[in-house]
């Protein structure tokens, strides 16, 4: 095609190619989900429908973008990890983050009724997105550790906070009571006053969700002869494991290879 005289404007575009040979993390986070969760009456401290919907969206993103090796999600955020050698979209930051976040958001709206039934979605949700490069395995693990530690700290706080509020304290009183407390104080309070052993709360809430590609037997009908054929496929699925300890990485040694 002949060049038009307008073509020169292309040179105004800036290069945003990410560093080679580094893990790329794309993290999306709901914009103003404090309000979004209130408008849609999310259960406190955790709404299982909302978490399942987030996990569904992350799985759809991973089904579409095969380079992603792992995703970790909690609350209104999800982090997607690309391996060091990935050349997806020539490692262009804006291409990567905009593709992931728009795919995530469109899935969120599309699948809403599956998880929320007849409860309508009141306004269009929005997510922001960023990319970060991590040069070493340890840096990547520490990034994921940081997000899972955040999940734990928030969940322990929120669980205790809502226990106090359901017990009759005002939100301000509950906040005051928890000011300056450590994890062990909250654990103790939950156990002694409300008979809740924090460690028995479902792992999906305490640990968040990690999506990895797990081997699964998939049976489909052959288009050739109409016979069922069973094959082993890698299917993205959520686990709720501790990823801070070494066990997870020993169990899934192929992840960082």
Distance of alpha carbon 85 from alpha carbon 254, whole angstroms: 14
Residue 116 is labelled as binding a ligand:
no
Partner whose binding site includes residue 37, from ligand DGT, Mg ion, none (CB under 5 to 8 Å by kind): ligand DGT
Query: In the set 17, 19, 32, 120, which binds ligand DGT (CB under 6 A)?
Result: 32
Q: Return the number of the residue (30 or 208) whose C-beta is nearest Mg ion.
A: 30
Residue 33 is labelled as binding a ligand:
yes
Distance of alpha carbon 101 from alpha carbon 77, whole angstroms: 11
> How far is C-alpha 150 from the chain's CA centre?
13
Binding of ligand DGT by 46 (CB under 6 A): yes
Q: Which two tokens stand for residue 19?
A: 């560093």
Binding of ligand DGT by 29 (CB under 6 A): yes
**Strand bridging mode 23-30 / 127-134:** antiparallel
Binding of ligand DGT by 147 (CB under 6 A): no
Binding of ligand DGT by 107 (CB under 6 A): no
Contacts of 41 (CB under 8 A, 6+ apart): 119
Binding of ligand DGT by 75 (CB under 6 A): yes
Residue 30 is labelled as binding a ligand:
yes
Q: Return the number of the residue (34 or 179) whose C-beta is nearest ligand DGT.
A: 34
What is the layout of strands, in order, in the sheet containing 70-74? 127-134, 23-30, 77-82, 70-74, 209-221, 228-239
Query: In the set 30, 73, 125, 208, which binds ligand DGT (CB under 6 A)?
Result: 30
**Contact between 131 and 97 (Cβ < 8 Å):** yes
Distance of alpha carbon 204 from alpha carbon 74, whole angstroms: 9
Binding of ligand DGT by 93 (CB under 6 A): no
Binding site for Mg ion (CB under 5 A): 29-30, 33, 75-77
Partner whose binding site includes residue 251, from Mg ion, ligand DGT, none (CB under 5 to 8 Å by kind): none
Binding residues for Mg(2+): 29-30, 76
């Amino acid at each position: 095609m002949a060049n038009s005289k307008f073509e020169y404007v292309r040179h105004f575009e800036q290069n945003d190619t990410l560093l080679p040979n580094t893990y790329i993390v794309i993290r999306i986070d709901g914009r103003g989900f404090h309000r979004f969760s209130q408008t849609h009456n999310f259960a406190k401290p955790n709404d299982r429908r909302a978490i399942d919907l987030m996990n569904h969206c992350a799985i759809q993103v991973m089904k579409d973008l095969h380079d992603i090796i792992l995703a970790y999600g909690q609350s209104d955020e999800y982090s997607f990890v690309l391996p060091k050698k990935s050349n997806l979209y020539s490692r262009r930051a804006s291409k990567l983050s905009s593709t992931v976040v728009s795919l995530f958001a469109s899935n969120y709206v599309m699948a809403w009724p599956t998880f929320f039934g007849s409860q309508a979605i009141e306004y269009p949700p929005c997510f922001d997105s960023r990319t970060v490069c991590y040069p070493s395995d340890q840096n990547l693990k520490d990034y994921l550790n940081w997000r899972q530690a955040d999940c734990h700290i928030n969940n322990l706080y929120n669980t205790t906070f809502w226990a106090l509020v359901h017990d009759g304290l005002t939100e301000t009183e509950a906040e005051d009571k928890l000011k300056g407390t450590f994890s062990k104080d909250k654990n103790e309070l939950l156990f002694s006053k409300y008979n809740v052993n924090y460690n028995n709360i479902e792992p999906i809430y305490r640990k968040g969700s990690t999506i990895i590609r797990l081997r699964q037997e998939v049976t489909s009908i052959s288009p050739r002869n109409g016979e069922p054929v069973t094959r082993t496929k890698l299917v993205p699925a959520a686990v709720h494991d501790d990823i801070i300890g070494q066990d997870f990485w020993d169990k899934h040694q192929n992840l960082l290879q």
